Homo-oligomer: A and B are copies of this chain.
Amino acid sequence: MASRRAPIAGRYTAEEVALAARNRGMPLEALRHELTPAGLHYLLIHFDIPPADASSWRLQFKGFFDKPFSISLEEIRRLAPTTLRVTMECAGNGRGQLSPRYPSVPWLEEGVSTADWTGVPLAALLQQGSLSPLAKEIVFHGADRGFDAGVEHHFARSLAVAQAMRDEVLVAYAMNGAPLPPQHGAPLRLVVPRWYGMASVKWLQAIEAIDGAFDGFQQARGYHFRRRADEKGEPCTLMRVNCLMVPPGIPDFYSRRRTVEAGKVALAGRAWSGSAPIARVQWALDGVWRDAVLAPARDLCWRGWSAEWPATPGTYELACRATDAAGNVQPLEAPWDLSGFGNNGVQRIQVTVRA
């Protein structure tokens, strides 16, 4: 781990700002949409968006298959399609609020969105190649290439065979009803619902069955929860329980501090968890918690919530907190993580109510 970057405390570096400008977050007022409008979905692109020619693109199936094969975009589009509405969050969402923090994209809280993904179940394609019983993991190779911590690699991630065979794991070619845009993985990408976004490999060019554990950089070194640089750590997998609120009222341009008119203020937001359905959302005014009203639940997709706040003039802190059906509750502050992963501490919004 000698080549890990040194943690940063205090103000942000030019490299962090450049990554924030490239890797767009979802402006929080877009939480008003269950389906994030095209162009507002968050983006995390490790290297560059690779050039891709959809007409000549072929997805290779190789390694432990009895019948290795390749398939074109057009051939995939002729298979029976599945569309799923999936909430996806970057594992590093909230990193920018930690101190010290790992030098990477300094998400504050906006690295989450929901899209309709259309494609075919990965399991159907694995079956077409007659996956060998010796296969232990399926590796997904993207076309994007670069360096991280001195190691040159294509972006690649793996799933255990049982995970890869879940019906809801898609090889997708469309987003919100349109062909994948370049920045979201055109022409083909993986979509792994419930997991943090790193599992949903973009610009998918090869799917490889292996008989062991994948040791690629993004699998074995990246995307682990760690407290110390010399520990192996725990891999990032399912999204932790989390929720956000549409900031009420109007903002100041620079500070984003909110000003709200006194009276009945409609609060609203969305909550999600990779482990289990959302069972409860609470909102707080200056640390006093009360229950929000939940909208109907929808599998794989964040759950809407709302509350009415009878606001009187003054200065307040609003917050929200979700609990899932497995009993996971958002912490008021998330445990510190070396690489800034999994920060699901509660969102806090400073608000001034005027008469």
A residues sitting closer than 8 Å to B (CB atoms) are: 5, 10-22, 24-25, 27, 29-30, 32, 37-41, 43, 45-49, 51, 96, 103-104, 106-108, 110, 145-148, 152, 181-184, 247, 250-256, 259
Contact = CB atoms under 8 A, between A and B. Distances in A.
A17 B96 contact: yes
Contacts of A11: 10-14
Given A37-B182, A146-B252, A181-B40, A22 B27 contact: yes
Nearest to A45: B27
Nearest to A175: B39
A312 B37 CA distance: 46
Contacts of A20: 17, 20-21
A110 B45 CA distance: 15
A337 B152 CA distance: 40
Copies in the complex: 2
Nearest to A48: B29
B46 A253 contact: yes
The 5 A-B pairs of least Cβ separation, nearest first, read: A24-B24, A11-B11, A39-B39, A20-B20, A21-B25
22 contacts: A11-B11, A12-B16, A15-B255, A16-B17, A19-B254, A21-B25, A21-B108, A21-B110, A22-B25, A24-B43, A29-B48, A30-B182, A32-B51, A38-B38, A38-B39, A38-B181, A47-B251, A104-B253, A146-B250, A146-B253, A148-B253, A152-B259
| Chain A contact residues: helix, strand, loop or mixed | loop
A152 to B, nearest CB: 8
Contacts of A32: 51
Residue from the set A11, A16, A103, A253 with the largest chain B CB neighbour count within 10 Å: A253
Contacts of A183: 27, 30, 37, 39-40
Contact of A12 (B12, B45, B256): B12
Nearest to A182: B37
Contacts of A252: 146-148
A93 to B, nearest CB: 11
Nearest to A47: B251
B148 A108 contact: no
A183 to B, nearest CB: 6
A147 B27 contact: no
A30 B16 contact: no
A222 to B, nearest CB: 9
